[in-house]
Amino acid sequence: MEIARTAWLFAALALLPSRVDAQDIPAPKDAYLYIISPQDGAVVKGAFLCRFGLRNMRVVPAGDTSPKSGHHHLLLDVDAPLDPHEPIPRDKRHIHFGESQTEAFIDLPSGKHPLELVQGDAEYYPFGPPVVAKQITIGVGEE
């Protein structure tokens, strides 16, 4: 009896809609995300102002489900692609701007650093297809 009840529970859970099925709202096809500054190849000394740009979508706080809108995530030194079925990680290499910020001071150690900007939906998931800025690389503390 217990095995049958467990099997029924797993079958019922499998029929529930997944997060992707329930909320996979695509971004506008003409959405364009970009890093305004610094420019690709720039060399900075210490903390620097990183500014973000977005066309054909609105920047709103996390949790806001308004159509054609989302919020920024800055990826620092990240090589692996994001999983579209998982929320964007929240750690020192995946910076969330869930209060609709469009710029921030960033402080990185000396060396070369790739920066990538990704637009996330109300629940921190990348859009499908993803809205991603062209990756740039900057130098910190170099001549």
What global pTM score does this model have? 0.81
Give residue-wise pLDDT tens across range 38-67.
Answer: 999 999 999 999 999 999 999 999 999 999
**Are 117 and 34 spatial neighbours (Cβ–Cβ below 8 Å)?**
yes
The secondary structure element, H or E, covering residue 66 is: none
Give residue-wise pLDDT tens across range 96-127.
Answer: 999 999 999 999 999 999 999 999 999 999 99
User: Looking at this protein, which amino acid is placed at residue 63?
Assistant: G
**Per-residue pLDDT at 33:** 98
Report how far apart the first and last C-alpha atoms of the chain are (Å, whole number).
73
- What domains are defined for the chain? 26-140 (2.60.40.10)
**Per-residue pLDDT at 143:** 52
Q: Decide which of 77 and 1 is more confident.
A: 77
Rounded CA-CA distance 122/11 in Å is: 29
